[in-house]
Structures are given as structure tokens and as C-alpha cells.
Amino acid sequence: MKKTWITIGVILVIILLSYSYIKGVYNKMVLMDEGVAASWAQVENVYQRRADLIPNIVATVKGYAEHEQETLTGVIEARAKATSVNINPDNLNAATIQQFQQAQAGLSSALSKLMVVVERYPDLKANQSFLELQAQLEGTENRIAVERKKFNESARVYNTYIRLFPKSVFAGMFGFEKKAYFEAQKGAEEAPKVEF
């Protein structure tokens, strides 16, 4: 009878320890998944900040360069396209991040064209409002780079954690999937050609 109670006690301790371990692994995966989602939200936040600056920049440029309507329209359309791409943090895979990056690249290209137009207007380049907006845009571009780096780091930590054995078994059981990274656009490794 005493051996039966000892056996039952040992089994209960093993079950309790197993439960505690699995619960701890699962909760850590949830925390890390939420961390990736929060990092993604911050990436979207800084891209939204950039999109929010654009109407002010366009309005300022419009006052000086009214005959540059095609460029201004291109920036407005690119902004609309970029802000229409929303990605659910639960669906962060390579295809959705690529779609997001393409929309943002279109906006970056349109902004680059706008800045080329600005070079033709010395009065605009000296305008205090425009200079402040341009400084805010530059700061936002830096924030975008920082937040993308933080997102990639949180995704790397999460991906590593769910791929380690035996956690990979539990990740598969509970439906935790690998998150995609932000990657450089094709051609970014080549230096731009500058011609004089």
C-alpha cells in the first residue's frame, strides 16, 4: 500500500513538473510573439509619421512650384498606396512584408523625385517651414531604420526560441510560426551611379 502511494506521488510530481515546464514555454512564446507584434506596430507607427508629414511638405512645395503638378500628384498617390497597405501582426510572413516594403519604396521614390524638384527653387530651399519639415522627414527616415532593426532583432530572438528543441515541438503543437524579417530591397547592395 505504501509503494502505491509513493508511485502515485511520483507520478503526480512528474505531471506537475511537466505542466509547469510546458506552461512556462508556452507563456514565453506568447510574450515573445507579442513582442514581435509590438515591434511591428512601432515600424508601422514611424512609417505613418512619415506619411503624415507628406501633406505638409506637398502643400509647402505647391506654393513655390505650382507647375510641378505631376510630381506632387505622384507623391500624393504614392502616399495613398503606402498607407493603404496594412498588415496584421499575426500574418508577418515574407510575402506580406515584401508587399509592405514595395508600397513604402514607391513612396520613398516619389519623395526623392520631390526633393529633386525642390533643388530648382532656391526660395523654397530657404523657406523655414520647408526646412523644418525636411528635418522632420530626415529624422523620421532615421527612426524607420532604427525600428526596422528592432523589429528584425525581436523576430530573430522569437524565431530562435521557437526553433530550439524541445521548444520547437511545443511551438508546432501550439501553432507558433516563424516570423519574416525586413530585408534590403533588390539592388540595394549596388552603389548608385553618380554622373556629373
Domain range list for the chain: 37-91+98-154
Tell me, what's the pLDDT at 42? 92
Distances (CA, A) of 27 to 16, 19, 39, 174, 186: 16, 12, 18, 11, 37
For residue 194, is pLDDT > 80? no
In single-letter form, the type of residue at position 93 comes to N
Q: Which three cell numbers stand for residue 8?
A: 502515485
> If DSSP codes are grouped into helix, strand and coil, which group holds residue 185?
coil
Q: Is residue 4 scored above 60 in pLDDT?
A: yes
Kindly indicate the confidence band of residue 146, based on its pLDDT and cuts at 50, 70 and 90.
very high
DSSP 93: -
Q: Chain centroid to CA 84: how far?
A: 15
pTM score:
0.74
* Cα 154 to Cα 138: distance, rounded to the nearest angstrom: 25
31, pLDDT greater than 80: yes
Residue 66 or 62, more confident: 62
pLDDT at 190: 53
Options 1.20.1440.20, 3.40.50.1820, 3.20.20.120, 3.40.50.2300; CATH of 37-91+98-154: 1.20.1440.20
User: Which pLDDT band, with edges at 50, 70 and 90, does 122 fall under?
Assistant: confident
